Amino acid sequence: MPQKKSVATFDAIMRSLKGGNYAPVYLLMGEEPYYIDQISDYIQTNALTPEQQAFDQTVVFGADVNAAQIADLAMQYPMMSPRKVIVVKEAQGLHAFDRIERYVEKPQEKTILVICYKNGVLKGKTKLLSAVERNGVLFESKRLRDWQLVGYVRAYLSKMKIEIDEKSSTMIADHIGSDLSRLASELDKLAIALPESDRRVTPEVVEKNIGVSKDFNAFELRSAIVNRDIFKANQIINYFDKNPKAGSLYALLPLLFNYFQNLMLVYYAPDRNNQQALADFLELRNAWSVSEYMTGVRNYTGKKVLQILGKIREIDGKSKGLDNPNTSSGDLMKELIFFILH
């Protein structure tokens, strides 16, 4: 049979599937279950009609079967359909993959075998991975870092022709966090709530539909810190104390670290008084966002910025239990903000 190239990205895999192009084998593995579920669910729903699924689609769980049984299922010919679909969920429950490895070397052309291996990647299975790359699709679903969530929100809504500003996307990302299933669900609901005449997401829209305060959130706290507005910063921290879901230390740390890391670079910029030149130097999407860094340069010395970056790392360690048996995340946040502003 002709060899197939591995499709490395989620978007590329979904484009291929929506174009009706199915590979004989999909090995979906990684820390982020959302993308694995999206791909496998699409195949389960669309590769066969509902009538065909009753005869030629089988879903099994790794803990309930062995590799030989999976290979035997995959080798069977379809009964009433142009293809057979075998989905192995929770494949990390399998104890051995030898028979699957041999099957993947020469897969049944009329079968789509989908192996969902969550919470990690297959290690020490070089021959299996190589065979999947040759004859099917190998995909690693990586968990997004906190600093990637804002970009994810923008990209997700952009596919639906919806505009969103930086503040609104930051509010959503900080409030919901890295649970992509929940994040996608909230964004879908937000899209439905928008009128056809105005497909823009503003802080007011986020506040109304997701329940995040447009005035008391991590984005506004960062703004208060940039401007050294001690009163406003304390207001927001006190609000977080009473409403823990409004802003967490874990959402704030990457936001502040990214800002002060860029601010440190500003001191070395060849032309830090030119907004566009500085935007290009920092690789920012918009020149208007440079104003925050120009304000930061006026309010913080290079020495202070270095100290702040060190303090953020220290607080990050303490938040994970390093040299910190008892201090709460709320108190750690107060400690950090006090250090930055004084």
Model confidence at 293: pLDDT above 80 = yes
User: Domain 144-214 adopts which CATH fold?
Assistant: Helicase, Ruva Protein; domain 3 (1.10.8)
Q: What is the pLDDT of residue 288?
A: 64
CATH 1.10.8.60 domain extents, the chain: 144-214
pLDDT digits (tens, 9 = 90+) for 296-335: 999 999 999 999 999 999 999 988 888 777 888 889 999 9
pLDDT digits (tens, 9 = 90+) for 134-179: 999 999 999 888 778 888 999 999 999 999 988 898 888 878 888 8
| Runs of H (alpha helix) within the chain | 10-18, 33-46, 50-56, 67-75, 98-105, 126-135, 149-158, 166-176, 180-193, 203-210, 218-226, 230-242, 249-266, 275-282, 290-299, 302-319, 329-341
CATH no. for 215-342: 1.20.272.10
pTM, full prediction: 0.72
Give how far Cα 177 sits from Cα of 14, 100, 173, 321, Å.
24, 36, 5, 20
Q: What is the pLDDT of residue 150?
A: 85
Assign domain 10-141 one CATH number from 3.40.190.10, 3.40.50.280, 3.40.50.300, 3.40.50.150: 3.40.50.300
More confident residue, 294 or 46: 46
And the tokens for 326? 């008892």
